[in-house]
């Protein structure tokens, strides 16, 4: 109960925190802001670079100097969210468990996403009907989650880290789906979804650690059989 009480207090404090402001009045920041405003109004597929330039008040040549596509603009926006989250202080969480630290980091990410909630809802709808876009977004999300894991003091390098980042990206996408329909000030439903997701991730991480500890001599057996099968297929085809 104490943990839930602390989290609710933290959410109320976060709600009073001003939304992060653009770093500057640069062409890059104007383009990102314009793109997110357009995304709140229409689908990702309907937004053209000329529209972004017009909304941002910059020329096409200036926009091209910063970005190569609308997906590139979205990647820049996600990078900005990463920066806002990483700027957040976690010194008071140093003694907490990795799960609690990651909970705090990902809730800070939700807070940073809040000003663009309508745009994110629009993007989620587009991703559901566009597998190519969903695949691209997953790549961007995995990259961001590597930083989120690192901020929580959880290893994100190597094969194990790559799998953790992918798992975190999928888990957080489900949490965002809950958040998009969560209109309560305290975000209780969102926090409950994140709690469940992290509990599941802990179980998966334990399984992954066990899997990674299997001796190499055991793991090589099936690989040798596959090679023999491949050789047999080559002989039959000759």
Mean pLDDT over the full length of the chain = 82
Q: Which residue has the higher pLDDT, 223 or 4?
A: 4
Q: Looking at residues 39-50, what average pLDDT do you find?
A: 97
Assess whether pLDDT exceeds 50 at residue 62. Answer: yes
C-alpha 150/C-alpha 85 separation (Å) is 12
Among candidates 29, 130, 33, 150, which has minimal Cα distance to 85? Answer: 150
Domain contains 13:
no
What tens digit of pLDDT does each residue of 155-207 get? 889 998 999 999 999 999 999 999 999 999 899 999 999 999 999 887 766 55
Domain contains 8:
no
Domain contains 15:
no
pLDDT band (50, 70, 90) for residue 7? low
Q: Which residue has the higher pLDDT, 175 or 217?
A: 175
How many residues are listed for the chain in this entry?
Answer: 238
Least confident of 58-72, 120-134, 149-163: 149-163
Q: Which residue has the higher pLDDT, 216 or 7?
A: 7
Percent of the chain with pLDDT over 90: 64
The domain total for the chain is 1
- Please report the pLDDT score of residue 172 as a whole number: 97
Assess whether pLDDT exceeds 60 at residue 219. Answer: no
Q: What b/e readout covers 127-137, taking b as 16+ CB neighbours within 10 angstroms?
A: beeeeebeeeb
Residue 65 · residue 27 · CB < 8 Å: yes
List of residues 6+ apart from 73 with CB closer than 8 A: 31, 32, 35, 52, 67
Highest mean pLDDT among 1-10, 82-91, 142-151: 142-151
Q: Which structural domain, as residue segments, surrounds residue 169?
A: 22-237
Which H helix or E strand runs over 174? helix 158-180
Domain contains 16:
no
Q: Which residue has the higher pLDDT, 56 or 221?
A: 56
- Please report the pLDDT score of residue 215 as a whole number: 52
- Please report the pLDDT score of residue 238 as a whole number: 36
- Please report the pLDDT score of residue 98 as a whole number: 87
Domain contains 148:
yes
Give ∠ CA 196-199-204 in degrees, rounded to 5.
125
Q: Which residue has the higher pLDDT, 95 or 212?
A: 95
Residue 39 · residue 12 · CB < 8 Å: no
Domain contains 14:
no
C-alpha 182/C-alpha 91 separation (Å) is 29
Q: Which pTM was predicted? A: 0.78
- Please report the pLDDT score of residue 88 as a whole number: 84
Domain contains 11:
no
Return the CATH number at 192. 1.10.357.10
C-alpha 67/C-alpha 61 separation (Å) is 10
Domain contains 83:
yes
């Amino acid at each position: 109960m104490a943990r839930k009480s602390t989290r609710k207090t933290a959410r109320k404090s976060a709600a009073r925190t001003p939304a992060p402001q653009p770093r500057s009045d640069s062409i890059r920041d104007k383009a990102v802001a314009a793109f997110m405003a357009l995304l709140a109004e229409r689908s990702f597929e309907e937004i053209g670079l000329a529209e972004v330039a017009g909304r941002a008040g910059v020329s096409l040549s200036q926009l091209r100097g910063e970005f190569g596509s609308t997906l590139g603009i979205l990647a820049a926006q996600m990078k900005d969210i990463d920066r806002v989250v990483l700027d957040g202080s976690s010194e008071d969480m140093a003694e907490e468990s990795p799960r609690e630290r990651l909970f705090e980091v990902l809730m800070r990410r939700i807070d940073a996403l809040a000003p663009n909630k309508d745009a994110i809802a629009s993007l989620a709808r587009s991703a559901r009907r566009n597998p190519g876009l969903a695949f691209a977004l997953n790549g961007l999300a995995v990259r961001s989650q590597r930083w989120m894991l690192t901020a929580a003091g959880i290893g994100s390098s190597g094969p194990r880290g790559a799998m953790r980042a992918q798992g975190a990206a999928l888990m957080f996408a489900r949490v965002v789906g809950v958040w998009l329909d969560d209109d309560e000030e305290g975000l209780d439903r969102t926090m409950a979804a994140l709690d469940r997701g992290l509990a599941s991730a802990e179980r998966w991480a334990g399984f992954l650690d066990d899997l990674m500890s299997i001796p190499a001599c055991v793991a090589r057996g099936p690989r040798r059989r596959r090679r023999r099968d491949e050789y047999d297929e080559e002989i039959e085809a000759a």
